[in-house]
Structure 1
Amino acid sequence: MIKKFVYSQKVAPYVFVLPFILIFSIFWLYPLINSFVMSFQDRMLGQDPKWIGEANYSKLLTDKVFLISIKNSVVYMLGTLVLLIPFPMLFAVMINSKLMMGREFFKSSFFLPALTSVAVAGTIFRLTFGEMDGSLMNSFLGLLGIEPIKFLKDGNWSMAALLILACWRWTGVNMLYYLSGLKSIDNEYYEAASIDGASAWQKFRMITMPLLKPTTVYVTTISVYAGLAMFTESLMMFNGNKSPQNIGLTIVGYLYRQGIEQNKLGYAAAVGIILLVIAMVINLTQLKFSGMFKKEED
């Protein structure tokens, strides 16, 4: 009876999707609902929760440190979009070219940093951009006759260091996404364009870029989330969650500070909900303007 039930054509599809539904419900839906409820509470470990309504959200609107963390995360996210979309696309086109030699070597070289632990990478970059005269960057500046710079104590320089770290780690990953997209483009388009006398730039602008649009939308979507959710890189770069004047504080870093370091779980939950809303609004907006919600015409 049980075997007949499981192998039923009506029941079988639900049996196959059941593991996903359970995992989604336990590890995503339940924590999300619980966090949303917690955001309306004054909740601390070891104490009974107290319902305080929208007080946490009202406090966030006037919390200067929280607003600084939003600014830092948004600037970092925009920086990654500017750097980690066009350059990986160009590198992918270059490596995919028939004239490219040693393409496997370059693909491996670009992807290798992604395999490096973020803790190790953050530590290396902290030493590279250290304020001492003997740090790598200051040693290089010294050769050019430039005075040492305290990179991690200046807002602009520290953001530049974080973006350099992001480019070092993720350029190869995004490049592989674009290489996969290039493999799906029929070579006949380029042959026809060559017959019509199109230049390399015209082929790239009129064929490659439009046909890579789905890949670009995907890379943009994950880059928005990754940019807003960045935390460990900043934690390791500044050797803790307390950067000078909060120049390296991100939204997730502020959530960690409130929830883990100060045991304000309700307030931290409100920060997490705000982060979710910001990420969803930005991604849904870019999906809307990219035309991904439009129905295909028959």
Structure 2
Amino acid sequence: MIKRFLYSQKVAPYVFVLPFILVFVIFWAYPLASSFSMSFQKLTLGQEPQWVGMDNYAKLMGDGIFLKAVINSAVYMVLTLIILIPFPMLFAVLINSKFMWGREFFKSSFFFPALTSVVVAGTIFRLMFGEMEGSLINSVLGYFGIDPVKFLKGQVTGYIALVALATWRWTGVNMLYFLSGLKSIPDEYYEAASIDGATRFQKFTQITMPLLKPTTIYVLTISIYAGLAMFIESMMLWNGNNSPKNIGLTIVGYLYRQGIEKNNLGYAAAVGIVLLAITMIINLTQLTFSGMFKKED
């Protein structure tokens, strides 16, 4: 009886989607609803929650440290987008070229950093960008007669270290996304363009880039989220969540500071909801302008 019920044409589709629905409700919908409710409360461990309405959000708008974290995350996101979309695309085109030798070696080399633990990578980059003369970057600068730079104590130089770490870790991942997109472009398009006398640059701008649009939008979407949600890289680079003058503080880092370090869970929940809202607004805006929501004729 049960077997016949599960295998019936009406019930079977619901059985197949049930695991996804359970995971979605338990690990996304319920935590989101709980966080949204907590953001309207004054909540600390060991005490009864108190309903405070919009007080947490009003406090956020006047919180200079939070605004600093938002600016840091936004700048980091923009810098990573500038680097981690065009360059992986170009590398993918080069590796996908018929004249490229050792392509499997380059694929592995570019992807290998993504397999490295962010804790290990962050520690290595902290040593590389250290202010001592013996650190790797300052040793290189010393060959050109440049005095040691305190990279992790300045706003601009701190961004350089963070973006360098992100570039090293994620270039290969985005490159593989673009490589998968290139595989879906028929060779006949390039052959026809060659017959018409198109140059390589024209093939890239008139064939490759337009047909890579779905992949580019996907990479852009996940990169926006990754940029705004960055935390562990900053924490490892500055060996903690307290960088000089908060130059490395991110939105998630501020959430961690309020929720875990200061036990201010209600305020931290408000930070998380604002982060979700910012991410959704940016991504929905770029998806709208890219035409992803337009109905096909």
TM-score range, shorter chain: over 0.9
Counterpart in the other structure of 1:21: 21
State the one-letter code of the partner of 1:76. Answer: Y
Counterpart in the other structure of 1:99: 99
Counterpart in the other structure of 2:69: 69
Residues in 2 aligned to 1:127 and 1:284: alpha-carbon distance in whole angstroms:
39
Q: Which runs of 5+ in 2 are unaligned?
A: none
Given the two structures, how large is their TM-score scaled by the length of structure 1?
0.99
Residues in 2 aligned to 1:86 and 1:238: alpha-carbon distance in whole angstroms:
28
**Percent of residue pairs bearing the same amino acid type:** 74
Counterpart in the other structure of 1:173: 173
Counterpart in the other structure of 1:203: 203
Aligned pair count reads: 297
Residues in 2 aligned to 1:42 and 1:228: alpha-carbon distance in whole angstroms:
25
RMSD: 0.4
Structure 1 residues 256-275: Cα deviation after superposition (integer angstroms, max 9, x where no partner):
00000000000000000000
Counterpart mapping for 1:1-298 below 5 A = 1-297=1-297
Residues in 2 aligned to 1:102 and 1:3: alpha-carbon distance in whole angstroms:
53
1:2: how far off?
1.6
Secondary structure at 1:131 match in 2:
coil
1:47: how far off?
0.7
State the one-letter code of the partner of 1:24. Answer: F
Residues in 1 aligned to 2:107 and 2:19: alpha-carbon distance in whole angstroms:
35
Structure 1 residues 75-107: Cα deviation after superposition (integer angstroms, max 9, x where no partner):
000111100000000000000001101000000
State the one-letter code of the partner of 2:113. Answer: P
Q: Which runs of 4+ in 1 moved over 6 A?
A: none
Secondary structure at 1:296 match in 2:
coil
Given the two structures, how large is their TM-score scaled by the length of structure 2?
1.00
Residues in 2 aligned to 1:212 and 1:92: alpha-carbon distance in whole angstroms:
11
Residues in 1 aligned to 2:187 and 2:197: alpha-carbon distance in whole angstroms:
16
Secondary structure at 2:137 match in 1:
helix
1:7: how far off?
1.0
